[in-house]
């Protein structure tokens, strides 16, 4: 047994993590179908005007506004119909005084016209060749002018922008089929422990199913990374060093288990063989036995998460998510919070910043934390409250801020 000689405060752990962030520099091109959620690696500038032609914004008639200046329902202006213009087709006519053309929404405005009047304010005469206009149109009315949306030379997306659905749409509007984006960080995920078995297989006595590989993989996918799952490693220094060596192409390595102080907790020795420890032990609960290191000649960042599933996942939310998003150049995650009265008293560990899971029922926050080893401490909770290191009790009825998962 090698007890923790000391732990560092959560804020200090965050400071050291921030200092180790090296945002991804690899760039790739992805088809627009796959671009949503990615981070633009370069400005995207339009070579064209959008729309590329002046177009009607309504179904109606293209006309010269001055022809309708005195029009009313009882004294309509009567215009001669020259053409019917559908979308995707250029009209060859020129609208002159006293004439008009039927036009569909999105169809190109014919030459000479300076306004569109909507069909509801018109009536086609029985002869089929003339149209009554019942209201005055103003010049420019219901016309989308060329380049009104995007002008040639406009920047539609800036480097570093997250490609939301609407930004993907802006790139499509200018006719680009793909986008240059930053690569998603590759995150090697590996569980350690002689007892850990892949779900779907049979458990031998003394074994448990691997939880952490899947919770970590889900978190990594949700926050801009590509999880690269590895087979669980046995509890020997040699196995862990070999496991580290198998992860060297990753941008980030996340192990779970073996980070504590039991005699088989050998992650510390493996780090000593291959890298440099940045911290080991944080004054948080759950999740105290968490290590952070850099590995190999590239100083690949390494998280050594606790094996207990709730400790592992809690620290994944609190420490891994912000780190991964910064690597991926994504904006910080801002979970929703709600205020609620606490349903029953919570005693908190002294000198450890506690993340305590709660369930929300009828507007009340009910304690949901069972134990660090119980995944249901999280899976049956809606969020967590934070209890600072210097606070030992939160009384029933106190107003607490719940951060929702």
Nearer to ligand AMP, 206 or 332 (CB): 206
Structure-token match 């599933």, residue found: 309
Q: Does 161 bind ligand AMP (CB under 6 A)?
A: no
Q: Does 257 bind Mg ion (CB under 5 A)?
A: yes
Are the beta carbons of 276 and 267 closer than 8 angstroms? no
Distance of closest approach, residue 315 Cβ to ligand AMP, in angstroms: 12
Q: Token pair for residue 372?
A: 């660090």
Are the beta carbons of 244 and 266 closer than 8 angstroms? no
Residue choice 141, 260, 348, 377 for contact with ligand AMP (CB under 6 A): 260
Q: What are 118's strand-pairing partners?
A: 60
Nearer to ligand AMP, 128 or 206 (CB): 206
Report how far residue 103's alpha carbon sits from residue 324's, in angstroms, rounded to the nearest whole number: 52
The stretch near ligand AMP (CB under 6 A) out of 36-44, 113-121, 255-263, 328-336 is 255-263
Nearer to ligand AMP, 213 or 325 (CB): 213
Residue closest to ligand AMP (Cβ): 307
Residue 191 interaction partner, one of ligand AMP, Mg ion, none, beta carbon < 5-8 Å per kind: ligand AMP
Residue 260 interaction partner, one of ligand AMP, Mg ion, none, beta carbon < 5-8 Å per kind: ligand AMP
Q: Does 229 bind ligand AMP (CB under 6 A)?
A: no
DSSP code, position 319: I
Q: What is the CA radius of gyration of the chain?
A: 32
Query: Which residues are CB-contacts of 252 (< 8 A; sequence separation ≥ 6)?
Result: 185, 186, 187, 188, 225, 300, 301, 302, 303, 323, 324, 327
The stretch near ligand AMP (CB under 6 A) out of 6-14, 54-62, 137-145, 254-262 is 254-262
Looking at residues 201 to 220 of the shown chain, list those that interact with ligand AMP (rule: CB under 6 A).
208, 210-213
Nearer to Mg ion, 232 or 394 (CB): 232
Q: Does 307 bind Mg ion (CB under 5 A)?
A: yes
List the x/- string, 266-305, binding to Mg ion by CB under 5 A.
Answer: ----------------------------------------
Nearer to Mg ion, 115 or 254 (CB): 254
Give the CA count within 13 Å in the CB-facing half-sphere of 131.
27
Report how far residue 229's alpha carbon sits from residue 23's, in angstroms, rounded to the nearest whole number: 22
Report how far residue 31's alpha carbon sits from residue 397's, in angstroms, rounded to the nearest whole number: 53
Q: Does 265 bind ligand AMP (CB under 6 A)?
A: yes
Is the CA virtual torsion 305, 307, 308, 313 positive or negative?
Answer: positive
Q: Does 185 bind ligand AMP (CB under 6 A)?
A: no
Q: Does 257 bind ligand AMP (CB under 6 A)?
A: yes
DSSP code, position 174: T
- Considering CB under 6 A, how many residues would be counted as binding ligand AMP? 21
Q: Token pair for residue 97?
A: 């005084």
Q: Does 309 bind ligand AMP (CB under 6 A)?
A: yes
Report how far residue 393's alpha carbon sits from residue 356's, in angstroms, rounded to the nearest whole number: 12
The stretch near ligand AMP (CB under 6 A) out of 55-63, 257-265, 330-338, 359-367 is 257-265
Distance of closest approach, residue 384 Cβ to Mg ion, in angstroms: 25
- Considering CB under 5 A, how many residues would be counted as binding Mg ion? 4
CA distances from 391 to 63, 95, 185, 319, 395 (A): 75, 79, 37, 22, 11
Are the beta carbons of 167 and 156 closer than 8 angstroms? yes
The CB density around residue 215, as the number of other CB atoms within 10 Å, is: 22
Q: Does 306 bind Mg ion (CB under 5 A)?
A: no
Q: Token pair for residue 167?
A: 């930004």
Looking at residues 45 to 64 of the shown chain, list those that interact with ligand AMP (rule: CB under 6 A).
none
Is the CA virtual torsion 16, 243, 224, 381 positive or negative?
Answer: negative
Residues that bind Mg ion (CB under 5 A): 193, 257-258, 307
Residues that bind ligand AMP (CB under 6 A): 191, 193, 195-196, 208, 210-213, 256-260, 262, 265, 306-309, 373
């Amino acid at each position: 047994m090698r007890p923790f000689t000391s732990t560092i405060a959560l804020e200090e752990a965050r400071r050291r993590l921030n200092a180790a962030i090296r945002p991804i520099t690899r760039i790739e091109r992805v088809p627009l179908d796959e671009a949503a959620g990615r981070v633009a690696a370069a400005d995207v500038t339009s070579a064209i005007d959008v729309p590329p032609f002046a177009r009607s914004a309504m179904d109606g008639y293209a006309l010269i506004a001055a022809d309708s200046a005195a029009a009313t329902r009882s004294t309509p202006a009567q215009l001669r119909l020259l053409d019917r213009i559908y979308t995707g087709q250029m009209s060859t006519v020129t609208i002159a005084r006293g004439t008009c053309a039927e036009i569909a929404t999105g169809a190109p405005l014919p030459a000479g016209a300076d306004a569109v009047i909507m069909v509801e304010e018109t009536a086609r005469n029985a002869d089929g060749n003339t149209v009554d206009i019942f209201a005055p149109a103003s010049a420019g009315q219901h016309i989308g002018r060329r380049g009104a949306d995007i002008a040639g030379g406009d920047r539609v997306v800036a480097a570093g922008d997250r490609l939301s659905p609407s930004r993907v749409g802006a790139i499509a509007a200018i006719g680009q089929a793909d986008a240059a984006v930053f690569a998603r960080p590759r995150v090697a995920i590996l569980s350690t422990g002689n007892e850990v078995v892949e779900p779907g297989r049979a458990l031998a006595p003394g074994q448990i199913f691997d939880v952490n590989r899947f919770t970590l993989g889900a978190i990594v996918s949700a926050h801009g990374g590509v999880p690269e799952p590895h087979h669980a490693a046995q509890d020997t220094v040699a196995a862990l060093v070999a496991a580290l060596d198998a992860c060297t192409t990753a941008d980030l390595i996340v192990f779970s288990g073996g980070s504590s102080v039991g005699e088989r907790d050998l992650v510390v020795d493996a780090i000593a063989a291959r890298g440099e420890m940045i911290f080991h032990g944080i004054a948080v609960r759950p999740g105290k036995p968490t290590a952070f290191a850099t590995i190999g000649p590239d100083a690949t960042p390494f998280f050594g998460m606790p094996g207990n599933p709730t400790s592992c996942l809690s620290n994944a939310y609190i420490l891994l998510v912000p780190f991964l998003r910064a690597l991926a150049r994504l904006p910080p995650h801002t979970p929703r919070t709600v205020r609620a009265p606490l349903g029953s008293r919570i005693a908190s560990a002294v000198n450890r910043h506690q993340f305590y899971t709660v369930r929300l029922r009828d507007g009340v926050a009910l304690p949901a934390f069972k134990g660090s080893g119980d995944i249901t401490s999280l899976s049956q909770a809606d969020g967590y409250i934070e209890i600072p290191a210097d606070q030992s009790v939160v009384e029933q009825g106190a107003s607490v801020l719940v951060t929702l998962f």
